[in-house]
Amino acid sequence: MEKDLLRLCTSGSVDDGKSTLVGRLLYEVGALADDHIAAAKKATIGEFPEGIDFSLITDGLLAEREQKITIDVAYRYFETENRRFILADSPGHIQYTKNQAAAASVSDAGVLVVDVTSGFSEQSRRHLMVMALLGVKHILIAVNKMDLVAYARASFDNLRTEIGEFAARLRVDDIRFVPISAKLGDNVTQRSEKMS
């Protein structure tokens, strides 16, 4: 029996952790070749878990690696035991919003990554509006960088309330919220003991 295919896009403001989340996810589900992991380790500068800057996994253009930003939509295919995925990692900079819209236009579901330390930015609002307008049916809000607020439940709850009220005005029917740390892997593929 053929597995169902889910087209998924990541969205959110610049530096909120979209590429880090995608890289971490691909790493944890075993969707990266050994040479890809080795290249990311070699290019990593600074202290990172597992010695890998996961944001480097999807940034394929030389300009992206040099500027440490995502410009183009990076498509990645992977599968789990139950499902196949095409994941589109879209850029967060305002000048590349059209690329995010292109990714969202062919997606069944979306992940809006929001940095808990900087809040629900104008660009994140814009990306959520684009997904809603283009009919993305299921949206997950990944409240990222929870490790930087010591996994404080109140920080997560405040952001969930703010985004939830905004999403209600957009008539987003299926919206879920998950506190994560993409860098450390909390709540990415396994439940974290640091957050309930």
pLDDT digits (tens, 9 = 90+) for 4-20: 999 999 999 999 999 89
- On whether residue 120 sits in a domain, the answer given is yes
Q: How far apart are CA 66 and CA 52, in angstroms?
A: 17
Residue 60 has pLDDT above 80, yes or no: no
Q: How many domains does the chain have?
A: 1
Shortest CA distance to 112 belongs to which of 51, 150, 159? 159
CATH number of the domain where residue 134 is located: 3.40.50.300
- On whether residue 116 sits in a domain, the answer given is yes
Contact 195, 186 (CB under 8 A): yes
- On whether residue 44 sits in a domain, the answer given is no
- On whether residue 95 sits in a domain, the answer given is yes
- On whether residue 54 sits in a domain, the answer given is no
Q: Please give the pLDDT value at position 66.
A: 56
Shortest CA distance to 66 belongs to which of 36, 45, 41, 94? 45
Question: In this predicted model, which residue has the larger pLDDT, 157 or 58?
Answer: 157
**Cα dihedral value 22, 26, 27, 28, nearest 10:** 100
pTM value? 0.91
- On whether residue 28 sits in a domain, the answer given is no
Residue 70 has pLDDT above 90, yes or no: no
The string of pLDDT tens digits covering residues 143-190 is 999 999 999 999 999 999 999 999 999 999 899 999 999 999 999 999
Residue 61 has pLDDT above 60, yes or no: no
Q: Please give the pLDDT value at position 64.
A: 47
Q: State both tokens at 38.
A: 């080795």
Domain that holds residue 97: 4-16+73-179
Lowest mean pLDDT of 49-58, 82-91, 107-116, 156-165, name the range: 49-58
Mean pLDDT taken over the chain: 91
- On whether residue 51 sits in a domain, the answer given is no
The Cα angle at residue 25 between residues 19 and 28, in degrees rounded to 5: 140
Give the number of other Cβ atoms within 10 Å of residue 84's Cβ: 14
Strand order in the sheet with 109-115: 74-79, 83-89, 4-11, 109-115, 138-144, 174-179
Q: Please give the pLDDT value at position 62.
A: 47
- On whether residue 175 sits in a domain, the answer given is yes
Q: Tell me what percent of the residues of the chain surpass a pLDDT of 90.
A: 72
The string of pLDDT tens digits covering residues 93-105 is 888 899 999 999 9
Q: Please give the pLDDT value at position 69.
A: 56
Give the number of other Cβ atoms within 10 Å of residue 66's Cβ: 9
